[in-house]
Amino acid sequence: MFKLFKPKNPDNKFDWRVLKKNDISILILDERWNALFKNVEKTEDIKEQEVKVKELLKEESRLLAESKELAAKKKKNLDKIIQLTPQVYEENNENSKEEMKKCELEVKQINERMKTIEDELEDMPKRIRDANIKLLECTVNSVYFRMRKNQKRIKELEELIEVTKEKLREYIDEKERLSEDDTDVYSYFHDLLGGEELEKLDKEYFKEA
């Protein structure tokens, strides 16, 4: 997928693994990255990878929100357990015992879920970074392919501009030559025939102009 360009020297091929050591900004949040596609359509590869990065960011946000919500529920249950402790151990209240068991079970379930979330969140930065680098690979291939195409067109346009410049110079030279010839002819006949007769000739020959 990412072999659009064949380097002249294989030893000089860009190593994408280097990027994993660098702090690459999240592309979809970068205004300059988004500006790359201001006038051109994103490729299907870019769109697909962009969605993956977005989904990972959403998942990370969702996990953080869930973790915060679970922490609040856990605190509520622990507070409830503390509140029930005297009734359970001093008064031996069966209803309080049952309620405490429910709270303890919920705390256990919350702890298990929070551990799962913690593991997922721990792995999330790497998953986002890898997806982001993959998006960068797609972007580079697309953008450089377009740049290569642009460079070819620029060269064509430069040649056309040079040809047009030469044609323009020829047109200007021809115009100046014709104007000079007309001026010489007009001056000669003005001196030879006089202004009044020349005016009659003008009306005769330039009446359609």
What's the pLDDT tens digit per position in 64-96?
Answer: 999 999 999 999 999 999 999 998 788 888 898
The answer to whether residue 209 scores a pLDDT higher than 90 is: no
Domain range enclosing 97:
42-152
Q: Is the pLDDT of residue 16 over 70?
A: no
Percent of the chain's residues with pLDDT above 90: 59
**Virtual CA dihedral for 96, 97, 99, 105, nearest 10 degrees?**
160
Q: Structural domain tally of the chain? A: 1
Is residue 48 a part of any domain in this protein? yes
CA distances from 75 to 38, 80, 116 (A): 49, 8, 18
Contacts of 61-66 with C-beta under 8 Å, sequence gap 24+, read 63/117, 63/120, 63/121, 63/124, 64/121, 66/113, 66/117
Residue 97: exposed, middle, or buried by beta-carbon count in 10 A (0-12, 13-18, 19+)?
Answer: middle
Answer whether residue 195 is part of any domain: no
Domain assignment present for 110: yes
Local structure of 31: helix, strand or coil: helix
For 27-40, what is the mean pLDDT?
91
Higher pLDDT, 207 or 54: 54
- Inform me whether the pLDDT recorded for 63 exceeds 80: yes
111 domain residue, yes or no:
yes
Residues 13 and 190: their CA atoms lie apart, in Å, by: 78
User: Can you tell me the distance from the alpha carbon of 194 to that of 186, in angstroms, rounded to the nearest whole number?
Assistant: 11
* Per-residue confidence band for 202, with pLDDT thresholds at 50, 70 and 90: confident
**For residues 38 and 61, what is the distance between their CA atoms, to the nearest angstrom?**
28
For helices 94-193 and 44-89, the axis angle rounded to 10 degrees is 160
Q: Is residue 100 situated within a structural domain?
A: yes
Token reading at 129: 């970074």
Is residue 50 in some structural domain?
yes
pLDDT at 8 > cutoff 50: no
Q: Is the pLDDT of residue 4 over 50?
A: no
Residue 93, in any domain of the structure? yes
Look at residue 18 in the predicted model and tell me its pLDDT. 61
Alpha carbon distances (Å) from 120 to 1, 42, 101, 124:
29, 31, 29, 6
Look at residue 123 and tell me if it is in a domain: yes
Degrees to nearest 5, angle at CA 32 with 5 and 130 = 60
